[in-house]
Amino acid sequence: MTDHIKYSRERDALLLLDQRLLPAREEGFECRSVEDVVFALKVMVVRGAPAIGVTAAFGCYLAARRTLAETPADWRAVLSARLERIEAARPTAVNLSWAVREMRRVWDLNPDAGLEDLAGIWLARAMDIQAADIEMCRAMGRFGAAFIDHGDTVMTHCNAGALATAGYGTALGVIRGAVEEGKKIRVIANETRPFLQGARLTAWELKRDGIPVTVACDNACALLMHRGLVQKVVVGADRIAANGDTANKIGTFGVAVLAERFGVPFYVAAPVYTIDPETRTGRDIPIEERDPREVTHVGETRVVPDGVPVFNFAFDVTPAELITAIVTEKGALTPPYERSIAELFK
């Protein structure tokens, strides 16, 4: 699946599949402005680290188009402020700020470009980023498949699939890679409270592909592992620090602790640009806190008594020592990650 993030030339707009509505409804969400893109990122019309990076790249193009239409005398400052707003939409996944920084880098390489030319250059770059993301996921799938055995049941947390990338997926890319090699495997998708990316999105994707999937409540993980029902865990990542500490959806850390307790190998699958050498350890990763309503309500129904505070941290950090290997498009990194990551960036 690759049509969930699509630039339409006819409409000069970014068309997104609205992930808030899945699996009940498959409806599009059209972004024509920076405001639309920032809204889509914040409320999670589109989510998943690489997918928000690709969306941000197209968002920069839309920012240039809007600025061109207004032709302000200080267009550079106006455009730069719009890029800052896109970059600030969500703090944890490094792919979002990476994409905006990449557009700024391309701008620096073309200092004399007028706004119209810059818009064209950015659109082409956004499309390249999108195409490259799919290729990276396929490569991760090939490398990661080596860790999955015929007959395995693989647990995953959140959605690190086609929907979370430009297509194919990171963690689900590894699962797809194993299936393409002819291995018969089953998947356990943790439901992933409160936004239910596992129950709603991972299960939807895998069912469409005919890959056997069972949804488990997040709090079933210990029981499932204790009963020997999980052979491998594969998850995605929003940011990997220089020492291998990995931020991913809230709950991932707990799964990793349990995996160690029960001797289940725990793999992270992520493209190299999810590794942020500027972030030294997991302590330096900003953790997004989201609207309490995601926890206090299920749909329109309040499930927490009015006035009771809730936590809604969107991510946690799994310490590097709990990670068996990090699968990238360049191959698998193994501990000690400080060294293998430094080698990679040499």
CB of residue 138 vs ligand MRU: minimum separation in angstroms? 13
Question: Would you tell me which residues interact with ligand MRU (CB under 6 A)?
Answer: 47-50, 93, 158, 160, 164-165, 170, 197, 236-238, 248-249, 314
Is residue 159 a contact partner of residue 193, using CB atoms and an 8 Å limit? no
CB of residue 69 vs ligand MRU: minimum separation in angstroms? 31
Structure tokens at 119: 């818009």
Phi-psi label, residue 123: left if phi above 0, alpha if psi -120 to 50, beta otherwise: alpha
Q: Residues 133, 238, 245, 276: which is the catalytic one?
A: 238
Structure tokens at 46: 């589109």
CB of residue 62 vs ligand MRU: minimum separation in angstroms? 20
3-state secondary structure at position 316: strand
Closest to 196 in 3D by CA, of 319, 84, 295:
295
Integer Cα distance of 79 and 90 in angstroms = 19
- In the numeric block, the tokens 């030294």 are attached to 280
Residue with smaller CB distance to ligand MRU, 122 or 315? 315
Closest to 312 in 3D by CA, of 296, 289, 341, 328:
289
Nearest residue (beta carbon) to ligand MRU? 236
Residue with smaller CB distance to ligand MRU, 236 or 282? 236
Phi-psi label, residue 93: left if phi above 0, alpha if psi -120 to 50, beta otherwise: beta
CB of residue 45 vs ligand MRU: minimum separation in angstroms? 11
Catalytic site residue 238?
yes
Sequence-distant (≥ 6) Cβ neighbours of residue 5 within 8 angstroms:
14, 15, 16, 17, 46, 51, 54, 55, 58, 130, 166
Angle between helices 75-87 and 94-109 (to 10 degrees): 160
Query: Annotated catalytic sites, by residue?
Result: 238
